[in-house]
Structure 1
């Protein structure tokens, strides 16, 4: 192997590493936008996570929206919350 082959191999390695670096920067900068556009093109999803709250390392509360109706779920350790139908909704007071 002569000097020209060694320089060519080194240049090819640097060029390849440069392409990988440029692709990584492009994905970090433009990746989330591309993913958002692709998911927006799909039909509207019925299920969405509205909010999460970590209670401790083993449990978390998750507010989920399903067909416009929100449900509160307790995840972790096999525990369940009472049915949302049992929870009293705050009544709106009408000023008369």
Structure 2
């Protein structure tokens, strides 16, 4: 084989690879790839929180249409822990603070030294 045969092979290979790249770009540009929602559309899905459990698994709080879903992902399988959690769900820490304030006030009214 002559050096010209090697050069012809290299140029043909470069040409074929560039054609594949151009076709992939055109396919992605004109919607033959993954479909996205229009930019003007309201986003319905978001990730509220992620908490690692161990090296492989994570707790993920996903928000969809005003409701939240708790998922365990990673490991051998994924698991839905809880669904339809309301976005404005009961806040335990706020309730505890309000209750302790009322309890302290009642103790003072009764004359309890504590």
Shorter-chain TM band: 0.3 to 0.5
TM-score by length of 2: 0.41
Higher relative contact order (CA 8 A, sep 6+): 1
Determine which structure has more spread, i.e. the larger CA radius of gyration. 2
